């Protein structure tokens, strides 16, 4: 069976986005700071970044594809990532608004799944071959997969900031059995890999 991974950057107080998310500020107030480690220290964090983008298939929530608070998206919305998204693999987008697959450059195709997370998982397994499946976010989708016991490895990237409000990853996920298997970091982030068992 494919390993199901989930990479998320969180603040030290557990938020994946700051308060007051808007279309202009999709990560909320202060939320951009979460990702400084990726942009300011790409070399020191190369392995962590590589881990985020080496899967054979991805699953993401509709907010991650279309933005927080967006209504039914415009039929020509093609995601946030330009014409060549960084996934280079099939991406299964959970949605209540089905539409035909959207083939981008470089191997990324967005497939829209309207019949639930188990269906998205089954389709991702078919697509991934021997490779990992990544739950790419956002927080609500990650929490849903964690609660359902589907995620095998949770990789937290803890940014040393306090957001003080926003969307929290772990509220309401219930008891999980977690074991840290690897810890490393820089001045802008601490990476912890957790094995999640049922």
Q: Within 13 Å, how many C-alpha atoms sit on residue 61's CB side?
A: 16
Site for a second copy in 53-112 (CB under 8 A): none
Q: What CA–CA distance (Å, rounded) separates 51 from 143?
A: 20
Mask: binding to a second copy, 4-43, rule CB under 8 A, as x and -? --------xxx-----------------------------
Point out which span in 54-62, 67-75, 110-118, 189-197 binds a second copy (CB under 8 A): 189-197
Please pick, from the candidates 43, 71, 183, 198, the single residue that binds a second copy as defined by CB under 8 A: 183
Site for a second copy in 140-179 (CB under 8 A): 156, 158, 160-162, 164, 168, 170-176, 178-179
Q: 65: helix, coil or strand? A: helix
Q: Residues in contact with a second copy, total (CB under 8 A)?
A: 30
Q: Which is nearer to a second copy, 93 or 169 (CB)?
A: 169
Both tokens of residue 29? 């107030």
Q: Which is nearer to a second copy, 104 or 189 (CB)?
A: 189
Please pick, from the candidates 3, 109, 144, 190, the single residue that binds a second copy as defined by CB under 8 A: 190
Q: Which is nearer to a second copy, 97 or 184 (CB)?
A: 184
Q: What CA–CA distance (Å, rounded) separates 71 from 63?
A: 10
Q: Which is nearer to a second copy, 12 or 46 (CB)?
A: 12
* CA proximity to 16, closest of 33, 31, 4, 5: 31
| Minimum distance, C-beta of residue 120 to a second copy, in the bound complex (Å) | 24
Q: Which is nearer to a second copy, 48 or 89 (CB)?
A: 48
* CA proximity to 198, closest of 156, 154, 151: 151
Q: Which helix (H) or strand (E) holds 46?
A: helix 46-52
Residues 6+ apart with CB under 8 A from 173: 143, 146, 147
* CA proximity to 35, closest of 11, 12, 19: 11
Q: What CA–CA distance (Å, rounded) separates 9 from 123?
A: 26
Give the binding site for a second copy (CB under 8 A).
Answer: 12-14, 156, 158, 160-162, 164, 168, 170-176, 178-181, 183-187, 189-190, 192, 194
């Amino acid at each position: 069976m494919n390993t199901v991974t989930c990479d998320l950057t969180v603040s030290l107080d557990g938020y994946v986005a700051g308060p007051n998310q808007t279309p202009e500020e999709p990560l909320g107030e202060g939320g951009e700071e979460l990702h400084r480690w990726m942009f300011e220290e790409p070399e020191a964090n190369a392995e962590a970044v590589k881990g985020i983008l080496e899967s054979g298939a991805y699953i993401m929530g509709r907010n991650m594809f279309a933005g927080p608070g967006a209504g039914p998206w415009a039929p020509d919305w093609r995601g946030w990532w330009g014409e060549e998204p960084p996934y280079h693999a099939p991406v299964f987008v959970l949605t209540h608004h089905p539409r035909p697959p959207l083939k981008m450059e470089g191997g990324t195709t967005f497939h829209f799944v309207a019949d639930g997370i188990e269906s998205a998982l089954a389709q991702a397994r078919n697509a991934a071959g021997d490779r990992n499946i990544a739950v790419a976010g956002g927080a609500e989708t990650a929490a849903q997969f964690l609660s359902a016991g589907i995620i095998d490895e949770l990789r937290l990237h803890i940014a040393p900031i306090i957001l003080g409000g926003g969307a929290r990853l772990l509220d309401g996920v219930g008891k999980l059995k977690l074991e840290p298997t690897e810890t490393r970091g820089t001045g802008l982030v601490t990476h912890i890999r957790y094995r999640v068992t049922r």
